[in-house]
Amino acid sequence: MNPLKELLAQGQSVWLDYIRRDLFRSGELKRLVEEDGIRGVTSNPTIFEKAIAGSTDYDDTLRVLLAKDPKTDVRNLYERLAIEDIQMAADVLRAVYDETGGADGYVSFEVSPHLAHDTQGTIKEAKRLRAAVARPNVMIKVPATPEGVPAIEELIAEGLNVNITLMFSMSHYDAVARAYIRGLGRCADPSKVASVASFFVSRVDTMVDRALETLATAQAQAKTLLGKIAIANSKMVYHRFLQIFHGEGFVALRQRGTRVQRPLWASTGTKNPAYSDVLYVENLIGAETVNTLPPETLNAFKDHGQVAGETVRDSLDDAAAALGRLKALGINLDTITEKLQQDGVTAFATSFDQLLGALEKKRNAMIGAEPIKKE
d(CA 55, CA 295): 17
Q: 137 and 103 in contact (C-beta within 8 Å)? A: no
Of the candidates 50, 71, 124, 141, the residue annotated as catalytic is: 141
Tell me, yes or no, if 141 is annotated catalytic.
yes
Burial class from Cβ neighbours inside 10 Å (0-12, 13-18, 19+) for residue 370 reads exposed
DSSP per-residue letters across 353-375: HHHHHHHHHHHHHHHTTPPPPP-
Among 323, 294, 311, CA closest to 230: 323
d(CA 127, CA 109): 12
Q: Which residues pair with 291 in a beta bridge?
A: 14, 265
CA distances 366 to 65, 74, 79, 177, 373, Å, are: 11, 13, 18, 47, 11
| Secondary structure (3-state) at 297 | helix
Burial class from Cβ neighbours inside 10 Å (0-12, 13-18, 19+) for residue 222 reads buried
Among 31, 82, 52, CA closest to 298: 31
What does DSSP say about strands 40-42 and 12-17: parallel, antiparallel, or unpaired?
Answer: parallel
Residues with catalytic roles: 141
